[in-house]
Structures are given as C-alpha cells and as structure tokens.
Amino acid sequence: MKAEDRYKQMAGEKAASFVQEGMIVGLGSGSTMYWMVRKLGEMVQKGLTIAGIPTSLQTEKWAKEFGVPLTSFAQNPDIDLAIDGADEIDPEFRLIKGGGGSLVREKVVAAAAKQFIIAADESKVVSVLGHFPLPVEIVPFGFEATALQLGKLGCDPQVRTKGNEKFVTDNGNFILDCSFSRIEDPVSLHHKIKMLTGVVETGLFLNMADVVIIGDQRGAQRMNMRRGQR
Ligand SMILES: O=C(CO)[C@H](O)[C@H](O)COP(=O)(O)O
C-alpha cells in the first residue's frame, strides 16, 4: 500500500473512534471515508448500535457492504456527528471539498450535524486555500453562461468530465472546477459565487469543521486550529 493510502486509513479509522453508542452519523465521501466506513462496520459487528446517513451513492454502497445500518433525514433530521474527508485544509480549518463530486450532500449533512470531523492524509494541509481547483456545483441548464459569470471572479472554470462525458453529480448537476491559485478571502469568494444564478453550492466549507485528524508517518493525530480565528 502507498504511504498516502496508509495515512488515509489511519486518519479514517481514528475518526471512526469518535463515534459513540446510539449516534446518528453523517458518512462522508472519498477514499479516506472508505476506511472510516469499513471501521464502523467492524464496530457494528462488535455490538455498536448506530445509523448512518451517506453523502454519496458510493458511500451508501460501502455502508451496505460493511453492514453499517442506514437511516434518512426523514427519520432523523438531526445528526450527532458527521465525518468526512477534504481536498484542502487551512490552519483555520477552512476547507475545499468536492474532489469526488459530492459537495452538496456533504455540506447538507455537515450543516445538520452537531459536530463535524475531518479526516485526511497530510498532503491536504495547506497554508492558503486555492491550489486545488475549487469545485462549484451548477445546474446543467445554461451552464455556459454560469461559467462565464464565474470566470469574471478570476478563474478559468472547467466543466468536469468523466471519460468523454460531462460528470453528473448525484443531484443531476454539473461541476465547474475553478482554479484561483490563492484564495485570500474564502468568505467573500464563497458569497460572490453563491450570488450567481445557476450556482447550487461551492466547495468552500467555512466555519464548519470542529476537529481535523491528519494521518502521516507518525500515525493519526488531531491538528491544532490556529487560535483566535473563530
Ligand atoms: O470532498 C470529497 C468528495 O466530494 C472528498 O472528501 C475529498 O475529495 C477527499 O477525498 P479523498 O479522501 O479520496 O482524498
């Protein structure tokens, strides 16, 4: 196994240890979450009673495969704990997410959760957000016009593709990947993008993460948030 995958496994499994008896758990998406969901499956086999709300169809499949019971917002609109991965994490725990294309469901679940934990390998920690192209989910109708408006904010939006086709999210939408290089003011950028007609959601997760667990060569440890920022 590559070092990066081992770090993801360590971080994902450590995040699973935060889950307690009786919790409703938001199950994030991406390869780090594979390990988290797998670990939860083992914990359930040993007697833990929980129910998960998956943030993607892929995560739902993993949960079923590993025997993690699922529930829905209709039955449980309050989530005790959401766990997810990230594409970039800055010192104030601001995130870029959506590399896997599940950002809308991930954000809905995280916003409904009392606590939000991020698990990632060390490569995701950055001093300034923006090197990873910011995913923005948009409705397909008139996406060319939405892309034009987004470009005026200082990026060159690229429609995400899968093979020869446009990538379609679990919500039936498209994703524009927007390279800004350095996002100096994530709050302002998020609001500007959200104001554009046709935009569903941005991959900027601001003031949401409570705990960040990073896997590296020393194991999996909690990252300290830079003080005085929230
Ligand atoms: O935001 C996400 C999916 O939309 C993922 O959490 C993010 O892309 C990290 O993925 P991985 O754990 O595979 O590195």
| Domain residue ranges of the chain, discontinuous segments joined by + | 3-124+206-218, 134-198
On whether 181 is known to bind a ligand per the annotation, the reply is no
Q: What is the dotted CATH code of the domain comprising 134-198?
A: 3.30.70.260
pLDDT at residue number 224: 87
What spacing in Å lies between the alpha carbon of 28 and ligand 1's midpoint?
8
- The predicted structure's pLDDT at residue 227: 60
Which atom from ligand 1 is nearest to the alpha carbon of 120?
12
pLDDT per 10-residue tile (average), the chain, 230 residues:
96 98 98 98 98 97 98 96 98 97 97 98 97 98 98 97 97 97 96 98 97 97 75
Question: pLDDT at position 229, please?
Answer: 52
Residue nearest to atom 6 of ligand 1 (CA): 85
> What pTM, to 2 d.p., does this model score?
0.96
CB of residue 215 inside a 6 A radius of ligand 1:
no
- The response to whether residue 130 sits with its C-beta less than 6 Å from ligand 1 reads no
Residues 6+ apart with CB under 8 A from 97: 84, 85, 86, 87, 103, 106, 107, 135, 203, 205
Write the residue with the smallest CA distance to atom 3 of ligand 1: 100
Q: Which CATH architecture is the domain 3-124+206-218 placed in?
A: 3-Layer(aba) Sandwich (3.40)
Which positions are annotated as active-site residues? 106
Are the folds of 3-124+206-218 and 134-198 the same?
no
